[in-house]
Amino acid sequence: MRGWTVAMAAAVVLVGTNAMAFPVQVPVGAQGEAPDVAALRAQLAEKDAQLKAALARLQQYEDEADYLRAEQMGVAEAVRASGLPERQQRRLAVSIVREAERNNLDPLLVVALIRCESSFNNYAVSGVGAMGLMQVMPDTGKYLAEKSGYKLGRHTNLFDFETNVNLGTAYLADLISRFGSVEGALVAYNAGPGLAKRILAKKENRVKFMAGYPAKVVKEFRKLKAQQERAISLRAEQTTTDRKG
């Protein structure tokens, strides 16, 4: 036992005089990496930054293309009535066009529904708890978000107009597919799918309900389409005049 103690003491003395019994790897480079590894990491970071910049430019290009379509369709003009700051108006117009086209809907139908549901009030809340521009119910929003592969999180996220348009437009498209027509889908959008089936099953109830909310949205949609057609005609006339000049 005494011999073991003496051996340990000798080892301690050797350590103290830098005569290490075990080899120790001395870090190389600022973070303990070999120079070639550090150089490779820097190259990867630079490439990643370049990729992010390229994606940002692509997104800007796509946004500009979508906004141009929003202007041509009359969506941008309709959004101006929202009273939102100009930058948010642009984002909202782009979002409406993008989500409508993604779901095979006319963007002006989405605009018509927003006008009837919330009058472009981001923070509108109905008596039954529907929220935001397209008046999405929290449970419906949660279900639609999970169906799309993400979590809605807090219910107040429905006040974010891009999130609200994303979910509301997908919901409207789903209802059109399930009920077979825009009018039937609007009944379901307003009353809920379960009640809508009962309403549509009886002629008297169907006729009465169709004359209310669905007729209001369709009327607004037709007005927007008429405005769009007039704008297209004016642009065509202007183009013809410019060519003659």
Residues annotated as part of the active site? 117
User: Two tokens at 148?
Assistant: 């799309």
CB atoms closer than 10 angstroms to residue 56: 10
Q: Report in angstroms the alpha-carbon separations of 100 from 53, 107, 177, 227, 233.
A: 27, 5, 14, 19, 24
Chain-centroid distance, C-alpha 195:
29
Q: Report in angstroms the alpha-carbon separations of 190 from 13, 106, 113, 137.
A: 85, 19, 10, 11
CA distance 103 to 171: 9
User: Two tokens at 47?
Assistant: 């490439």
